[in-house]
Structure formats: C-alpha cells, structure tokens
Amino acid sequence: MSMQGKYIEDDRLSALAEQSARLCRKAGPVPAKATVSKLRAAMNEIDAAYGKVSERFGTAASVPDACRWLLDNRYIAVREVKCAIAAFAQEKSLRGSEAGVILLDMCRTLVDAGLGKVTEERCRLFLDAYQSVSVLPRKELYLFPAALRTALIERLAGLCRELLSTNTPEKLTDGFAVFGGAVLDFEDFLVSNLFLPLGSLVYLLFCVTKYGWGWDNYKKEVNTGKGLKMHDWMRGYLTYVLPVIVLFIFAFGIYDKFFA
C-alpha cells in the first residue's frame, strides 16, 4: 500500500468532505468487533516492523530516521490503539457503507487528504462540511477521536509495510514524523486547552463553594500542620477572581486555535 498521494489544502477540504458524504452508500450495520480486529491486526504489523528494525538497527551506530522514529515512538501507537479499542469495545455495531464503516471511511479520507497530517482546524473544516450533507449521529461524533486514531494507526501500519520492503527507508521519514505530530498535536490541544483549565476550574469550585468541599472545610484542611496559612481574605480571590482567570485562559485557547 503506497502512502504517496496529493495533499488537499484547507480551502479545498470542505469540498472533498461534501463529496465524500454524497458518495457514501449506506449499507447494513457492521459489528464493532470487526474494527477492533482490524486495529489489532494493524498493531501486529507495527510490532513486526518494530521487531525487525530493532534486530537490524538496535545497536547500530547509524540508524535511518524512519527506523529511529519507530524505535523511539512505538509507544505512541500502543497507547492510541488501546484508547481506540476501549472506545469501540463499548459498541455492538457501527453504521456501514458499501466500502465498510461510514465513520472510519470518513476519517481515512481526512487522514489521506493531509497525507497523514491532522490538525484541529482540518478536523473542524471536514466535519462541518461533511455534516452539511449528512449529519452524523451523536454516537459517531463521540467515536470520532477513536475512528481518527484508527485511521492514523492504519496509515502507520502501511508505512511499516513500506519500511520493510524498501531499500531507501530515509525517504519515509516525513510520513513517520507526520504521524507523530498529528497524534501529539491533537492530544496536546485536548490536554492543554481543554482538560487542564476546565479540570482546574472544577477543582477550584469544589474547594470553595457549598456545592463541594466548602470554604471552611478547605481552609481547615490546608491549614493543618506547619507552614503558610490560608486566610479568610483570600476567599474572594479564589471564589470570584481566579475562576474568571481560568475561564479567560480556556476561552483564549479556543480562540487562538480556531479563530486567530
């Protein structure tokens, strides 16, 4: 399977998504376990390539960049496969098309359009355009990250097959680097821009409001033992000022990613 293709620029991505939605021919449901099996098969291919690369280059002084990437970053694939399998394992079936699973076909088109490069902006553009033609059920929107992981893992498995069959592995460096960037950039956005600020806000409100721990209980706990103490004059700052700061950081992160 060749990983070569034509990169679709952002201004043409919406048209591709709309075309994909129109061309989709719905069929019967597909068991979710079939997708899990394909994921495991793709991971087996990655593991096989990792084993052969380790055997050949594990102690070599000079290692091609593509092989070095696989040796250093196999853990990314392992982690993403586990996350995707956990999500699909909760489902009995997925909507099917003549080509396979609708959601997976959509994500493969998105991944192939970027030659493996996936960004938050491209995901938003593609999803919005696709749903302007065919609205995805809520379940599929929830499964979109798992389907995107699956499409990326399948592409990585294809790169591994090429890695084992080529005499010039250095030419595959960009493909491996793009895979790592796509996954890590996506997760960095989720953690840095969503989970951290919102998690800190929930924790803060739990500590200082009557709907959680409460200010008095919180102050009593933190003032136990020696060291700096929490005082009542700090309550206003922690209850009203700090939540506004956290919300500003959250809103600015969203604006910076999607609108700046």
Asked if pLDDT for residue 109 goes beyond 50, the answer is yes
Mean pLDDT score, 65-80: 82
User: Is the pLDDT reported for residue 187 higher than 90?
Assistant: no
Asked whether residue 125 carries a pLDDT value surpassing 70, the answer given is yes
pLDDT tens per residue across span 244-257:
999 998 888 888 77
**pLDDT number for residue 2:** 42
184 pLDDT above the threshold of 60: no
Cα distances from 112 to residues 33, 174, 175, 235, 245, in angstroms, run 24, 14, 11, 52, 39
The total number of residues shown for the chain amounts to 260
Among 121-125, 177-181, 228-232, 244-248, the minimum mean pLDDT is found in 177-181
- Asked whether residue 161 carries a pLDDT value surpassing 70, the answer given is yes
Residue corresponding to tokens 């000022």: 241
Long-range contacts of residues 7-10, Cβ cutoff 8 Å, at least 24 apart: 7/113, 7/114, 7/115, 7/117, 8/113, 8/114, 10/121, 10/122, 10/125
Ramachandran area for residue 62 (φ above 0: left; ψ -120 to 50: alpha; else beta): beta
At 1 the pLDDT is 38
User: In the predicted model, what is the mean pLDDT of residues 28-55?
Assistant: 91
Burial class (CB in 10 A: 0-12, 13-18, 19+), 119: middle
Which SS3 state, helix, strand or coil, does residue 126 take? helix
- What is the percent of the chain where pLDDT is above 70? 87
Average pLDDT over residues 5-31: 91
Question: What confidence score (pLDDT) does residue 66 get?
Answer: 73
Mean pLDDT of the 77-81 span: 90
pLDDT reported for residue 179? 55
Query: For the chain, what is the mean pLDDT?
Result: 84
pLDDT band at 107 (very low <50, low <70, confident <90, very high): very high
> Which residue would you say has higher pLDDT here, 78 or 172?
78
pTM (global) more than 0.85: no
186 pLDDT band, cuts 50/70/90, is: low
Share of the chain above pLDDT 90, in %: 39
When comparing pLDDT for 7 and 133, which is higher?
133
pLDDT given at position 180:
47
Q: Lowest mean pLDDT: which of 99-108, 193-202, 231-240?
A: 193-202
